[in-house]
Structure 1
């Protein structure tokens, strides 16, 4: 966001306030000044001149010009610009002056003609070419004004505002409101305790009662895309298409390129001041008073557009279509205001691949009821140019929204939060000159009334932050943190569930939430845990939601099917949720892999049983489960439902207790529903917790250094992992842990029904440090076991 001194001093007294002091103020208030630019120091000796004669030099693109620099002072300047002509007012660098590039003017001779200086383009005197139109880049700058420019001949360029000073700031994410110059004006007025008067809101243009009704229809596809919408109509009285030089330069200093139509340029002035874009349309060119907001496909991009029937009036964020643009023949201007959902507009900006004054504000969350201020400001700006004879009162097409800007808090809360010792009067003094804020209260309790533009202030914490910001962060004395010990119950089960959630998210699985009410038949069919007494609703809204589910697996598969139908076929999901019976509820964890995914930085791999089981083993580690007591049993064929693979499934048991199931979906089911290879696991966390509580023992921790070795085995996919581990480690001593650390399957291995597993095995002893010879002896047992199993060691 850019702020300029010349604009500021129109609305507040800057006497005695230096540019450096304003820089300090902005930084102190949280608006980080990234860059400043002093246009008064870029050049030396530039003056305003008038071209009184201009003649073409034969056989060249040059002209010889007689330029007036004073009442009786004239100079001759040779110029190559295509737009120089008699009668225009220009910026002149006379002999002895120095321009921004560091060039000092002297007398020269070109094609036999004396040249006493230079007629300047803006880029030559320090204005960035990026804010200039092609015509302005190729030509000299022509000064336009509705005032008498003859009175400025011979004066310095400060007379047209080229002595300005700018601050370019980086706004924090919560201060989108500061995309309005007026908001920054308020902040500085309060900081310097200086009266501000944004007089545009008290203009002399009287509102007329609307006699024209505009109707806006928003397409269902944009439901929620528009927060508010409004309109007004301006009656045009005098169209000159001449932008005053001070305004033109101010727009350029604000990185705003000319639109080529001064009404749209003036609309940009308002948008920068108020942070509310406006769409200006020639009202008489509309076919109907019923306009619509929808989407149109343009160059294979779906874009939000305002339409008149089937005709596009304006693609939001671009210029109004020529067919509807305001021209010198326009008699009535329809001004339409929108406040959009920023997410929709960020998508629009990305697809348009452009940035301008309007889009920069549409993509940010801003106060939705700014239309009155915007319309009053626009009326005043138009009135400065004697443009309008009257204006219709602003009408809302959608909205306004209800504003909740009163926050109850207390002085004690603020002092506790900030480590300060304010009283209520001191807090009131901080906000005394900040327009839009009011503090009510006499002692401790207080009501903090916010400027409605400050939609970032929603509660006590934001109020505390605002008090600290206005007071000055550097003025708050740092104090050591005081931590008070609070007695509270420890919930190991809840802590473990939180650890599981964090682990699964870290492993790349998406945490989903599904509906607890399901169809009764599905609930019965997928009751793998064989729970009794389902909870039925007496008056279900539909048969799809008539009973509380007794497992999570079906819900997980439904989500996979829904995503697959929409083209999202590669999924890693999990959910922790309760299942219900009339005897109570149980907390279950379900997780699923479908399609392909990256397990690490290497090539993608298809979902597989081993990766699913690896996740389960990591969960067992979090619960400190002795995995030698974990077993996996094939579900009896007569109890396997049709949706589950009859042979790639397992009942998970710890000791004699069943805690869950892991399974692959039946290939026929996958094919029917167009799913990739899909594996699902579900465990009862309550039962798991009860098992570890029963078997929880204190184990002595070895004081000796553990040693780990990894082995990679190529095996058949038909061999169960638990059987593999059992046979591989049979008769091996000193093993304290083992873990599946990697899975690999090339295309060739797929065809041969083989898979490569990498397993990390840890050795340690409680009584002495294991040496290499001892570990090597045990390692040889592992290799011999692999050989007897006819498993290839890679």
Structure 2
């Protein structure tokens, strides 16, 4: 909703309050002001000019030499290329030195040898949006009415010296979709009165009922319909002040009759429609539901097929308007209209919303009907519009109105106690303060002891229960004035659970390691849904998928991460490391909700480390991916409980994939994507991992143990063991740790050899063992004893021999 500050002053006294201050007060009271636009800020030097002479430019067919009176001592010559410029017009002239939108400065110039001292402007050049410029001036200069004063500031005359407040209204505040509604709000905030427009009564010898009758069949959808007849109207442009207010509110001016209906729409919040009485074709208005397949050509010259649940205004037989949405072309007010039938009606929101949605027609009128209009303004709005048509279209308003009225519109009555208001708000307000707030809102309030009964006017249809009254008290008292307190409870709410804290640590660690977080769809194709899944289960297909690409709930996150890699590689982004924490969905019994399990997945490809100046490049490999996970397990205190075993998983490289176990239970895998899959997806060497995040985060972490820095030296022994090729280095590692006893502190693998000098079916694995006693210096004999024990254990359990 766009609110003109200058227009608002007609309804409420704003003296002493700037537009910016008003915007802040409205925002603090509960309606957000999204911005304040000063239309002519930074602009200057545009005045009303009178074109005294016009002749063709001697050197250019499309240019004109104009002699323009600017209210100064002498007229000036201006070259103008607008096709509609003519002698005798009052126009907007940017004088030499003027500044136009876009910081466009006007200077003296010569155009094809002729001097030009300024520019005759279109409305668009003055900063008015093209979509709200009247069609007559959409492709040329703007012409002021003949009574415009030469030399007058054009910005002021066009309403561009105004400030426009843009209100961000929530659906419940339909009352603020009108100038009077905003005036009530502002008056309540400032503690001032609302000034209603003065409506002059027009007496005519003829009665409107002699010209038209109204019959409503669909009374539930249209409980009130008011028709007025205005004769002898003269169609022409509306007053300039009205056009500028409409343009500032985002509405394009058309002619005086249509502009008046739009003006009253903005003023009262009540949609109106004007029919050409002579085009209706009968003396009857019948409001009914449309017949299935019935057609109407609307004002936008589009033929529309109606449904049985659409509401139409008819002449007794054929539709002349789609109720509350758009009028019909067959009854449009045009330049030859002399008699106007004015409609003001109360339509229920649901039926208007249905028609608006079905036909893709969302208008200023339909949006107000959908949110709800004030039933007590229907008749007032019609009288206001008729009065304006008499003043600005020279019309004769026929006596009375023709109505169909079955509307039951009673104000809501809500009671509340002082204790409840103070308890909810945490305040200590007095009953007199509460009553004062409701009276500022112009709600009738009656106090009985500590209870207050409020009669809510029909314009505020959003107030129906006690909590609504509490909200009104809070916002008018001032949210800033409400006391600030901390929650009182056994435990302070709002903390993260241990699970959530650990999940944050996981994300923080992975991002610190260089992986970017991804968020992918939980829906995928039937083919991809089960790939790389940690648990085998039937897939779950949506009953009504929007597309086959998003038709099935996933069992694994990895396929979506591979799609991200494919997308990036196709765009020359070839070094990527990403991860995602998200849910997978396991099917249970029929008609039962699936089990959701949270998993962690990652995908890496390209270079992991690159220092081109030093000639260093480290491509991603299995050990990079495994190293990231080992660092994560160390961060979570699980390093000693995790083991890696060779694995054969569909879609993964058979020799570069490991199953991951936590305390002996499988929790996921890490490895390289199978070469055939990489080729199919145009991927380079790609390494992925996927783990059960729930298993990791719910596992009991090892307690943190601190050790002092050793005071005594350690002794290192290296051994190269020849074992069968199928013997896992991890098994040997475990045997060494177990046999080494308390003196063995570290074991690491530093070499693997399988070559020509090694017997067929054998390999050499080299380990480095560090022995240390924190209390004393070890002797060679003690180390040799412990070391021999290790060699014996390895030989007995794996058949290993020392490599010569």
TM-score, normalised relative to structure 1: 0.59
Q: Does 1:474 align with 2:486?
A: no
Q: Does 1:228 align with 2:259?
A: no
- What is the CA-CA distance between 1:422 and the residue it aligns to? 1.4
C-alpha offsets along residues 765-784 of structure 1, whole Å, 9 cap, x if unaligned? 99x9xxx99xxxxxxxxxxx
Work out which of the residue numbers 266, 275, 279 in structure 2 matches 1:285: 279
CA distance in 2: counterparts of 1:264 and 1:765, whole angstroms: 72
Are the structure 2 counterparts of residues 41 and 363 from structure 1 closer, same or farther at C-alpha, using a change threshold of 3 Å?
Answer: same
Does the 8 A contact of 1:706 with 1:762 survive in 2? no
Work out which of the residue numbers 182, 190, 201 in structure 2 matches 1:184: 182
Q: Does 1:63 align with 2:57?
A: no
Residue 256 of structure 1 corresponds to which residue in structure 2?
A: 251
CA distance in 2: counterparts of 1:708 and 1:438, whole angstroms: 77
User: Whose radius of gyration is greater, 1 or 2?
Assistant: 2
- What is the CA-CA distance between 1:182 and the residue it aligns to? 0.8
CA distance in 2: counterparts of 1:177 and 1:706, whole angstroms: 64
C-alpha offsets along residues 329-360 of structure 1, whole Å, 9 cap, x if unaligned? 43432222344443443443344445432233
C-alpha offsets along residues 533-564 of structure 1, whole Å, 9 cap, x if unaligned? xxxxxxxxxxxxxxxxxxxxxxxxxxxxxxxx
- What is the CA-CA distance between 1:90 and the residue it aligns to? 1.5
Residue 172 of structure 1 corresponds to which residue in structure 2?
A: 170
Work out which of the residue numbers 331, 337, 345 in structure 1 matches 2:344: 337
Does the 8 A contact of 1:406 with 1:449 survive in 2? yes
CA distance in 2: counterparts of 1:42 and 1:401, whole angstroms: 52
CA distance in 1: counterparts of 2:9 and 2:594, whole angstroms: 66
Does the 8 A contact of 2:39 with 2:162 survive in 1? yes
Work out which of the residue numbers 413, 431, 440 in structure 2 matches 1:433: 440
Work out which of the residue numbers 457, 462, 465 in structure 2 matches 1:456: 462
Q: Does 1:3 align with 2:9?
A: no
Are the structure 2 counterparts of residues 205 and 713 from structure 1 closer, same or farther at C-alpha, using a change threshold of 3 Å?
Answer: farther
CA distance in 1: counterparts of 2:46 and 2:281, whole angstroms: 51
Aligned pair count?
Answer: 543
Does the 8 A contact of 1:50 with 1:69 survive in 2? yes
Are the structure 2 counterparts of residues 237 and 72 from structure 1 closer, same or farther at C-alpha, using a change threshold of 3 Å?
Answer: farther
Does the 8 A contact of 1:251 with 1:257 survive in 2? yes
CA distance in 2: counterparts of 1:765 and 1:452, whole angstroms: 61
Alignment of 1:107-118 (within 5 A): 107-118=108-119
Decide which moves more: 418-427 or 341-350: 341-350
Work out which of the residue numbers 450, 472, 484 in structure 2 matches 1:444: 450
Q: Does 1:271 align with 2:265?
A: yes
Residue 613 of structure 1 corresponds to which residue in structure 2?
A: 589
Are the structure 2 counterparts of residues 96 and 384 from structure 1 closer, same or farther at C-alpha, using a change threshold of 3 Å?
Answer: same
Does the 8 A contact of 1:708 with 1:762 survive in 2? no
Structure 2: gaps (5+ residues): 296-301, 492-521, 524-541, 546-550, 561-585, 598-639, 651-662, 668-691, 703-729, 732-804
Partner SS for 1:362: helix
Does the 8 A contact of 1:3 with 1:167 survive in 2? yes
Q: Does 1:237 align with 2:232?
A: yes
- What is the CA-CA distance between 1:419 and the residue it aligns to? 1.1
CA distance in 2: counterparts of 1:51 and 1:320, whole angstroms: 40
C-alpha offsets along residues 306-345 of structure 1, whole Å, 9 cap, x if unaligned? 3335544124566533431223443432222344443443
Residue 320 of structure 1 corresponds to which residue in structure 2?
A: 327
Are the structure 2 counterparts of residues 217 and 195 from structure 1 closer, same or farther at C-alpha, using a change threshold of 3 Å?
Answer: same
CA distance in 2: counterparts of 1:189 and 1:337, whole angstroms: 27
Residue 756 of structure 1 corresponds to which residue in structure 2?
A: none
Are the structure 2 counterparts of residues 253 and 386 from structure 1 closer, same or farther at C-alpha, using a change threshold of 3 Å?
Answer: same
Residue 380 of structure 2 corresponds to which residue in structure 1?
A: 373
Q: Does 1:205 align with 2:202?
A: yes
Residue 191 of structure 2 corresponds to which residue in structure 1?
A: 193
Alignment of 1:394-793 (within 5 A): 394-397=401-404, 399-435=406-442, 437-482=443-488, 611=587, 613=589
Does the 8 A contact of 1:45 with 1:98 survive in 2? yes
CA distance in 2: counterparts of 1:617 and 1:67, whole angstroms: 79
CA distance in 2: counterparts of 1:481 and 1:421, whole angstroms: 18
Partner SS for 1:109: strand
Are the structure 2 counterparts of residues 438 and 473 from structure 1 closer, same or farther at C-alpha, using a change threshold of 3 Å?
Answer: same
Are the structure 2 counterparts of residues 229 and 56 from structure 1 closer, same or farther at C-alpha, using a change threshold of 3 Å?
Answer: farther
Are the structure 2 counterparts of residues 43 and 482 from structure 1 closer, same or farther at C-alpha, using a change threshold of 3 Å?
Answer: same
Does the 8 A contact of 1:82 with 1:139 survive in 2? yes
Are the structure 2 counterparts of residues 73 and 471 from structure 1 closer, same or farther at C-alpha, using a change threshold of 3 Å?
Answer: farther
Does the 8 A contact of 1:228 with 1:396 survive in 2? no
Structure 1: gaps (5+ residues): 486-506, 509-567, 572-595, 604-609, 622-703, 715-733, 739-759, 774-794
- What's the C-alpha RMSD, in Å, of the aligned pairs? 4.7
Partner SS for 1:97: strand
